[in-house]
Each structure stands twice: as structure tokens, then as C-alpha cells.
């Protein structure tokens, strides 16, 4: 990591994890008015990507929360919602892959944790396996019979053109260098294969309305969240890594975090947020972003 200070991109904090735009833009990163404990989020002037000023040491420490046997398994009260979202995701994915029900489709889930999405994929007829760097989560998934590689994608050394589809759900916002991962995904995908990316939307109405109060920005609440995409920045990164957008959608608006207000006020704000949900979806301003990318022909 460079120790340079005070060039055209602004002063660089010694030890800061991200010093340049993760999308690959050459334009400067500038401070925003979204101020977190790590310092103001910085914005790329070309693509609008937002990046944290977290240090490498703090980032590494924040990622330890995922190394548990339970990993990211949804709680029982959220299982029905998880199942509904998974059913929609895999239905769209199978349509885009253009495979008939019953056809063998091989899928890799990167950052699969303890395997919740893998189980859903298998339920919907995919031949699914995963990659997970957190030891305890990977071991738990393996103990339940799931095919999971413990480590990072590059270390798995999958042969080229191994998979019809790859899912990258709530992972890309953790990566200082997402381009390297997307290029490896492109290598292991079959021609015209699909990559599904789920992440937060840095230009959502939620960000505009509540800014730094959005829990998604908080490393203390969401370990490792350091890089925040928007539809433009994700499209630019995808193009540079050999993908094109097939379908993109956003959903949900938040006007308050549950711990910030009393119960009555929170319910009122939640009703207001639900009223904004449909127009947010129509205008691409929801704070949850789901993008289906197709591997470009060589």
C-alpha cells in the first residue's frame, strides 16, 4: 500500500485501505458530506462510487464477525422472505440462462457463508456449490453436505468455463479490488454465462434522505462494508471486466433506522417508506440493487 500524500486526488491517510476508485477510474476521490466514524465517505468524480476511509487493520477486524458457524443464515422470522426472494432470483436467472426446468445448470455462490442461498438454489433445480473464506461458516456448510470450498475464489482454481451462473450476493461492497474478482468470474463462466450481483445503491433515496444514518454504511453494524456502488459505477466496472447488463432493479426505501425513534414514529416512517417504494423501484432509487450481468462474447 502506498504512503503517498497530497497529490491531485487529495491527502491520503497513511494506512487507508482504498486510495483510488475501485471501479478503475482515474479521476480524483473527493470528500462527501456523509461523515462516518472512519471519516467522510469519498466519491469518485467520474462514476459516483463511494468509498470508506477505513484503515486496513480496522477492515480486517470488522470482517471477523462472519467467521461463525451460523454465518449469514437468515433467522427463522425472516425465512419466508428469504425463500420468496430466492425463488424470484432463481426464476429470473433460469429464464436469462434460457434453460428449461429440469435442465442441469451449474451455479457457484461466492461468499456463500453457511449455505442459505446454496440450499435455495438446489431447491430450484440448480447444481450448486460455493466458495467461502470464513472457516467456521464453510465448515458448517460442509458438515450439512454442501459442496463448499474454504478459501478465496482464485485459490479454488476452477477450470475455465465451469459454470452457467455465479451469484455474488452482498459481497462486492466488501472488496477493495472488485475488478480482479469479476475477471476471475468471467474466466470460470461458460460463454454467455450469467453473474448476479446484489449490493446496496449509493445513489438511492435512502442515502439522499438519511445519509450517514443508513445502517448499510456502518462498519460496526455491517462488517467490511467499504465500497458502495450505484447503477452507473457497477455498469462501468462490468464493462471493464467483460460483462454487459442484462437486467437491473432496485427496491426499498428507509427513512429511519429502528433504534433512532420511538415505536410509533418508526411505524409512521415505515408506512411513508412503503409508499415511496414503488416510485423508487421505477426510478432506480431503491437502496437494494440486484443486477444480472451476462458474460460478453470474446
pTM greater than 0.85:
yes
* Closest by Cα among 280, 283, 291, 277 to 229: 291
* Domain contains 279: no
Q: Which three cell numbers stand for residue 170?
A: 452482498
Check if the beta carbon of residue 181 is closer than 8 Å to that of residue 243. no
pLDDT tier for residue 10 given thresholds of 50, 70 and 90: very low
Tens of pLDDT along 161-177? 999 999 999 999 999 99
CATH of the domain at 84: 3.40.50.150
Q: Of 182-186, 227-231, 259-263, which range is least confident?
A: 259-263
| Mean pLDDT along residues 54-68 | 94
* Domain contains 29: no
Position 87 scores a pLDDT of 95
The SS3 of residue 137 is helix
Position 262 scores a pLDDT of 85
Residue 209 predicted with pLDDT over 90: yes
* Domain contains 45: no
115 DSSP 8-state letter: S
Give me the residue label for grid cell 453457511.
114
Q: Which three cell numbers stand for residue 17?
A: 485501505
Tens of pLDDT along 104-154? 899 999 999 999 999 999 999 999 999 999 999 999 999 999 999 999 999
Tens of pLDDT along 251-277? 999 998 777 888 899 899 999 999 999
Distance separating alpha carbons of residues 224 and 183, to the nearest angstrom: 21
* Domain contains 270: no
* Domain contains 95: yes
* Domain contains 215: yes
Amino acid at each position: 500500500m502506498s504512503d503517498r500524500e497530497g497529490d491531485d486526488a487529495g491527502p491520503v491517510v497513511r494506512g487507508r485501505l482504498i486510495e483510488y476508485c475501485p471501479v478503475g477510474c482515474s479521476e480524483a476521490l473527493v470528500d462527501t458530506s456523509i461523515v462516518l466514524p472512519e471519516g467522510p465517505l469519498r466519491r469518485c468524480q467520474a462514476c459516483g462510487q463511494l468509498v470508506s476511509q477505513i484503515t486496513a487493520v480496522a477492515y480486517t477486524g470488522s470482517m471477523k464477525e462472519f467467521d461463525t458457524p451460523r454465518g449469514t443464515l437468515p433467522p427463522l422470522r425472516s425465512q419466508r422472505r428469504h425463500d420468496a426472494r430466492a425463488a424470484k432470483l432463481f426464476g429470473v436467472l433460469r429464464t436469462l440462462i434460457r434453460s428449461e426446468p429440469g435442465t442441469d445448470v451449474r451455479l457457484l455462490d461466492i461468499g456463500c457463508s453457511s449455505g442459505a442461498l446454496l440450499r435455495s438454489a438446489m431447491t430450484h433445480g440448480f447444481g450448486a456449490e460455493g466458495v467461502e473464506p470464513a472457516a467456521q461458516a464453510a465448515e458448517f456448510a460442509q458438515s450439512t453436505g454442501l459442496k463448499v470450498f474454504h478459501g478465496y475464489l482464485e485459490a479454488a482454481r476452477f477450470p475455465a468455463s465451469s459454470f452457467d451462473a455465479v451469484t455474488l450476493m452482498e459481497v462486492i461492497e466488501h472488496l477493495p479490488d472488485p475488478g480482479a474478482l469479476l475477471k476471475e468470474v468471467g474466466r470460470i463462466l461458460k460463454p454467455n454465462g450469467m453473474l448476479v450481483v446484489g449490493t446496496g445503491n449509493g445513489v438511492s433515496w435512502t442515502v439522499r434522505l438519511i445519509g450517514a444514518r443508513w445502517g448499510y454504511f456502518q462498519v460496526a453494524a455491517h462488517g467490511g462494508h467499504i465500497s458502495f456502488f450505484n447503477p452507473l459505477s457497477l455498469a462501468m466496472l462490468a464493462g471493464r471486466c467483460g460483462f454487459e447488463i442484462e437486467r437491473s432493479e432496485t427496491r426499498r426505501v428507509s427513512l429511519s433506522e429502528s433504534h433512532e425513534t420511538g415505536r410509533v414514529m418508526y411505524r409512521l416512517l415505515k408506512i411513508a417508506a412503503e409508499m415511496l417504494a414503488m416510485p423508487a423501484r421505477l426510478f432506480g432509487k431503491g437502496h437494494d440493487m440486484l443486477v444480472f450481468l451476462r458474460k460478453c462474447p470474446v
